[in-house]
Chain A
Amino acid sequence: MAGAAAKERRVIRVLLVEDEEIHRVRARALLRDAAGGVELGEAGNGAEAVRRVREGGAYDLILTDRQMPVMDGHEATRQIRALGVTTPIVGLSSDSLAADADAFIKAGADDFTPKPLSKEKLNRILAKFNLA
């Protein structure tokens, strides 16, 4: 067969962990056209994210904010990893401090990106984890 077969883009399941509506609205719009489509789950804080994962939620990618009520992104990452979940986790924060990124990585996240999320940042993340 001449030429490479077109790479089939699959629907990916993403869990967005974010307490603020404005960031959720923006992320929803960005994710709408990503990959071959996105099944988007949302959690308003880290505790809700851990519960969703513990209750069997299977995700291809978890995007989590740092500062949230009830449980922050660092702790949620630690607890998700403690469940034995190996899903890629990307930390998000409005501060782009090295300390923020380090804390996420130490907690078990695979990557960090400063907010706001953009098409370029999202494409980089999806490519990194073979989800594009």
Chain B
Amino acid sequence: MDYSNLRRQIISMKKSLFDQGYLDEQFNQLEELQDDSSPNFVEEVVALFFKDSSRLLTNIERALEKYPQDFYRLDSLAHQFKGSGSSIGALRMKNECSMFKAHCSDRNLEGCRRSLQKMKREHATLKQKLETYFQLLRQVGPRERAVNSWK
């Protein structure tokens, strides 16, 4: 297996995720917490995020369809989403959650609906990109997957 080529792909992909604003420094911090005793830590935490966030997106969508809208509940759901996203460094997601919360504060239903659509798109894109990233990492195997190599 051409590890050097794989490593280049991984580094390039990670750089791209940062340059395009999908991820921020918190993702690096997460990778720093990964070690031999928890070699899949980052992937596990990211999986937790996508499990939580899928549920939250569904709950936000349902809450938006109710009438009258409970903007307090919507804000609370977005707050959870924002927190969860920030824990893996999902920068774009975090920013869109902030926009959604701002619309809740203004009781702007249309703004919330537009923001939700953006959140769903960002969520799907980030999921796809991170799945690809972790697939590449799995190919190099745990021995090669020394965290600091990918910085």
Inter-subunit contact B80/A115 (CB<8 Å): no
Near A by CB (< 8 A), chain B positions 9-57 give 26, 29-30, 32-33, 38, 41, 44-45, 48-49, 52
The stretch of B83-91, B115-123, B124-132 in contact with A is B83-91
Inter-subunit contact A115/B86 (CB<8 Å): yes
Size category of the binding interface on chain B: 20 to 34
Inter-subunit contact B87/A29 (CB<8 Å): no
Give the A-B pair count, Cβ closer than 8 A: 49
- Whether A22 contacts B79 in the complex (CB less than 8 A), given A94-B86, A116-B26, A118-B26, comes out as no
Number of interface residues of A (CB under 8 A): 15
A54 vs B48: C-alpha distance when bound (angstroms)? 32
Q: Does residue A26 face the partner (Cβ distance < 8 Å to B)?
A: yes
Inter-subunit contact B87/A67 (CB<8 Å): no
- What residue of chain B has the Cβ atom nearest to residue A94's Cβ? B83
**For B38, what are the chain A residues with a Cβ–Cβ distance below 8 Å?**
29
> Could you mark each residue 91-106 of chain A with 1 if its beta carbon is under 8 Å from any beta carbon of chain B, else 0?
0001100000000000
- What residue of chain B has the Cβ atom nearest to residue A66's Cβ? B79
- What residue of chain A has the Cβ atom nearest to residue B38's Cβ? A29
Near B by CB (< 8 A), chain A positions 23-53 give 23, 25-26, 29-30
A23 vs B87: C-alpha distance when bound (angstroms)? 7
Inter-subunit contact A94/B29 (CB<8 Å): no
Q: Does residue A119 face the partner (Cβ distance < 8 Å to B)?
A: yes
- 6 nearest CB pairs, A to B: A94-B83, A29-B33, A116-B87, A22-B48, A94-B82, A116-B86
